[in-house]
Amino acid sequence: MIIQWLKKISNVQIDTVSVQKAAEQSERQKRADENVVDLPHYVLTREEAQRQQASLRYLVEAGSPTMRREKLKERVRNKVWGVVRDSFALEDATMVEEITERILDAAEMDPHYAKMFEG
């Protein structure tokens, strides 16, 4: 009976130690997984971000003249409409657009004309 009792105690201790070792191993693995840095992924992600930033910068640079032209066109159109309303009894939208385009072409070639329509 004493021998069986000692065997049970030793089995319980062995099982307890096994459970503790498994828990420690699990905890170590969990900490290791949290601290892992995937270097290739990090580098590729960073390079991809730089490529996207460059392409966005290109889009901004390419679209900037178009936006400037549209803003200038709006200012020119407003002034032309003001002159047409004051000077002519008949307001013709196609005439205003044609005048606006001609002035806009001149303003693109000569900064003096562009300054006339600033602000």
For residues 117 and 68, give the distance between their C-alpha atoms in angstroms, rounded to a whole number: 12
For residues 13 and 44, give the distance between their C-alpha atoms in angstroms, rounded to a whole number: 50
Answer whether residue 75 is part of any domain. yes
Answer whether residue 8 is part of any domain. no
47 lies in which domain range? 18-116
**What is the per-residue pLDDT across 5-26, written as a single tens digit (0 to 9) for each?**
666 666 655 556 666 777 788 8
Q: Which of the pair, 58 or 13, is modelled with greater confidence?
A: 58
**What is the per-residue pLDDT across 25-49, written as a single tens digit (0 to 9) for each?**
887 777 766 666 666 777 778 888 8
Residue 90 DSSP one-character state: S
Answer whether residue 12 is part of any domain. no
Q: What is the mean pLDDT of residues 53-81?
A: 84
Please state the domain count of the chain.
1
For residues 104 and 114, give the distance between their C-alpha atoms in angstroms, rounded to a whole number: 8
Q: Quick one: pLDDT at residue 89?
A: 73
Answer whether residue 4 is part of any domain. no
What is the H or E stretch that residue 71 is in? Answer: helix 39-87
